[in-house]
């Protein structure tokens, strides 16, 4: 009751920011701050509810609910939304039992936690972000269409080829057929078959007699591919930071088999990891393009055994 009477007397309140976040973009209308009002009515029926206080400014109402022990329930919030009146909830439980009168007043008017139950302005944010998304999609349409054509042409060219690198032939001779030529999305981003590039980098990480194998990151592999001309110029992205995820998603519309080169390489490495052939420097299931991959003890033993048998033969 003290909080209600204080607000009716002071006719001012610090309000939280008004913003809308769709998970990608954020729209902001009001940064938050002190707001003054023309009048206040305590515990007066509004529609099907009786708010603690309704304050008015320039003909617009604001519902103010004070929380001591129980927040507004979903039914009351739904009724506020049906009224389409802005409503804010202020948590008086934040006040300490030993607070002075001045501290209590400051907490009620300014510092206690507060949040919007509903604000009609948020619809502006939803509409603004919808418009922004439509415009972004339109901007992505032309480059995505062009890249889809490059990808499809590249994929068609590769489907008429057969693996021909010496690394592929060596991998096959070592009995590694099941670990090279693994089909991953993104075929049309490359100028060589998965058989060839996978064999090249698997052997690069493999040990040699009396030597250790190498560790490679996805960026190491992509840099080498670019130098060899194995990635089409339009897709020479070393990591996800160099390409808009919206562009990648736009390319995938109608072309679900598309994947950026770093995702294609990552998928191959993770497939080998699942078969206990490779391990990452990261211990969890999330890898970046900078994490180092190397042969496991199991992979080392298989490679060295195959080299030994080949040498004996």
Reading the block at residue 179, the tokens are 């670990």
Reported pTM:
0.58
Sign of the C-alpha dihedral, residues 251, 257, 259, 261?
A: negative
pLDDT at 91: 93
For residue 116, list its beta bridge partners: 88
Q: What is the pLDDT of residues 253-299, one digit of tens each?
A: 889 999 999 999 999 999 999 999 999 877 555 668 888 999 999 98
Task: Give the sheet arrangement for strand 114-118, strand by strand.
Answer: 39-42, 53-57, 60-67, 86-91, 114-118
Average pLDDT for the chain:
87
Reading the block at residue 264, the tokens are 């294609």
Distance of CA 183 to the CA centre of its chain: 26
Q: What is the pLDDT of residues 194-231, one digit of tens each?
A: 999 999 999 999 988 777 778 999 999 999 999 999 99
The neighbour count for residue 303, using CB atoms within 10 Å, is: 24
Which of 232, 211, 233, 217 lies closest to 265, judged by CA? Answer: 217
130 phi and psi angles, rounded to 5 deg: -65, -45
Which of 215, 222, 257 lies closest to 238, judged by CA? Answer: 222
Reading the block at residue 208, the tokens are 């040699």
Distances from the Cα of 257 to the Cαs of 39, 253, 268, in angstroms?
62, 10, 15
242 phi and psi angles, rounded to 5 deg: -90, 0
User: In whole angstroms, what is the distance from residue 134 CA to residue 204 CA?
Assistant: 46
């Amino acid at each position: 009751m003290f909080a209600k009477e204080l607000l009716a007397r002071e006719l001012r309140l610090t309000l939280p920011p008004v913003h809308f976040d769709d998970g990608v973009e954020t729209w902001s209308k009001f940064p938050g701050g002190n707001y003054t009002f023309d009048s206040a009515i305590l515990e007066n029926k509004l529609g099907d509810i009786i708010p603690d206080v309704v304050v008015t400014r320039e003909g617009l109402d604001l519902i103010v609910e004070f929380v001591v022990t129980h927040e507004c329930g979903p039914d009351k919030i739904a009724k506020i939304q049906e009224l389409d009146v802005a409503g804010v909830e202020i948590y008086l439980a934040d006040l300490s039992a030993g607070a002075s009168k001045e501290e209590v007043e400051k907490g009620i008017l300014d510092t206690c936690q507060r949040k919007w139950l509903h604000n009609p302005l948020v619809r502006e944010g939803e509409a603004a972000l919808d418009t922004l998304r439509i415009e972004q999609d339109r901007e992505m349409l032309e480059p995505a269409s062009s890249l889809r054509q490059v990808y499809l042409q590249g994929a068609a060219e590769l489907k008429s080829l057969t693996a021909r690198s010496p690394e592929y032939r060596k991998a096959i001779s070592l009995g590694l057929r099941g670990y090279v030529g693994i089909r991953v999305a993104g075929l049309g981003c490359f100028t060589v078959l998965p058989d060839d590039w996978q064999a090249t980098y698997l052997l690069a990480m493999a040990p040699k007699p009396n030597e250790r194998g190498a560790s490679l990151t996805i960026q190491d592999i992509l840099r080498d591919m670019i130098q060899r001309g194995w990635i089409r110029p339009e897709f020479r992205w070393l990591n996800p930071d160099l390409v808009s995820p919206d562009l990648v998603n736009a390319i995938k519309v109608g072309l679900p088999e598309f994947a950026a080169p770093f995702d294609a390489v990552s998928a191959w490495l993770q497939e080998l990891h699942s078969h206990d052939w490779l391990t990452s420097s990261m211990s969890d299931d999330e890898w970046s393009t900078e994490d180092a991959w190397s042969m496991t003890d199991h992979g080392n033993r298989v490679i060295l055994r195959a080299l030994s048998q080949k040498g004996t033969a």
